[in-house]
Amino acid sequence: MPAHQVVLPLFDGFQPLDVTGPHEVLRGASTLFAARGEPDRGYDVALVAARPGPVGGDSGLQVVATHGLPETGPIGTLLVPGGSGTRAAATDPEFVGWVRRAAGRAQRVASVCTGAFVLAAAGLLDGRRAATHWRWAGTLAAAHPAVDVRPDSIYERSGRIWTSAGVTAGIDLALALVEADHDAAVAQELAREFVVFLRRPGGQSQFAAPVWTDPAPRPSVRAAQDLVHADPAADLRVPALAAHVGMSERHFGREFTRLVGCPPGDYVEQVRVDTARRLLESEPLLVGVVAARAGFGSAETMRRAFLRRLGVPPDHYRRHFAAPTERS
């Protein structure tokens, strides 16, 4: 039985890590199986493009496509990368048409990062869950309302379609593909070799920059937003905010939600989480002190908010994102 064929199409402006990350994982699996005397369990990864030869990535790195876009023959996995060139690729009828046709003869189809836009343009994500880079999740959802975009997912599997978040998440996706094809032990061995999590804790939110909501057009609601940002540790319950801006609680809650896009309590919690994130990243404070400064009142309340918003507890967030301290 031949090795599982992976077809990875390149286009101008692809993200190199979307290609090299999965490529190295899959080739690593092939090396592992070859050492065990089982070469047929590996992967044959083909880099293809509209024209064979060097293809420029969005960072200037060139990768050589050894073949043109194949029009015949079975495909094990069709894996589409993302990158700054995705906008052009997803609106190129010839490339999108080829992806649609190739998907029809593939056992499964996958994308990394904004490669999901190409799959969506080909109609392959309609009615399915999909992941993409957190920065572009809203754009994908707006452009393709039939797609169930999951902005916090590292990767999603929906039937035979797999999609992942940005850049290094392509490694997570490739490890998941190997685990699905073989077993967790093989994927774990590869993860150790690459010094990565087999299944990283939490979702994309822990890596995303704080997303600030635009100021509300109504001055009274904007004044409430300003108060929240100015002092997250203040009493920011609805009665206090409504009194501060001279509105009834019911009217304030309705207007805030209409103009800001979320209830006041949700807004306050997000600002407090973002405040705590900055403190955990930059200050060697006890978690309880961070919780108090950010307005949570207790470390347990902050922990629940972090799990709800970021998918990881504060101590995990600090270990992974705190600036290194200088040692004497």
Tell which phi-psi region holds residue 108, choosing left (phi > 0), alpha (psi between -120 and 50) or beta: beta
> Where, residue-wise, is CATH 3.40.50.880 in the chain?
4-204
User: Per CATH, the architecture of 219-321 is what?
Assistant: Orthogonal Bundle (1.10)
User: Which pTM value belongs to this model?
Assistant: 0.70
Domain with CATH 1.10.10.60 in the chain: 219-321
Strand order in the sheet with 43-49: 67-68, 43-49, 4-9, 75-80, 106-111, 161-164, 155-158
Pick the CATH number of 4-204 from 3.40.50.2300, 3.30.497.10, 3.40.50.880, 3.40.50.300: 3.40.50.880
**pLDDT value, residue 327:** 43
The one-digit pLDDT tens for each residue of the chain (328 residues) are 578 999 999 999 999 999 999 999 999 999 999 999 999 999 999 999 999 999 999 999 999 999 999 999 999 999 999 999 999 999 999 999 999 999 999 999 999 999 999 999 999 999 999 999 988 999 999 999 999 998 878 899 999 999 999 888 999 999 999 999 998 888 888 988 887 777 776 666 666 655 556 788 899 999 999 889 888 999 999 999 999 999 999 999 999 999 999 999 999 999 999 899 888 888 888 999 999 999 998 999 999 999 998 888 999 888 887 766 544 3
Structure tokens at 170: 């392509």
What per-residue confidence (pLDDT) applies to 60? Answer: 93
Of the listed 47, 103, 109, 113, which one is catalytic? 113
DSSP collapsed to 3 states, the chain: CCCEEEEEECCCCECHHHHHHHHHHHHHHHHHHHHCCCHHHCEEEEEEECCCEEEEECCCCEEEECEECCCCCCEEEEEECCCCCHHHHHCCHHHHHHHHHHHHCEEEEEECCCHHHHHHHCCCCCCCEECCCHHHHHHHHHHCCCCEECCCCCEEEECCEEEECCCCHHHHHHHHHHHHHCCHHHHHHHHHHHCCCCCCCCCHHHCCCCCCCCCCCCHHHHHHHHHHHHCCCCCCCHHHHHHHHCCCHHHHHHHHHHHHCCCHHHHHHHHHHHHHHHHHHHCCCCHHHHHHHHCCCCHHHHHHHHHHHCCCCHHHHHHHHCCCCCCC
| 262 assigned to active site | no
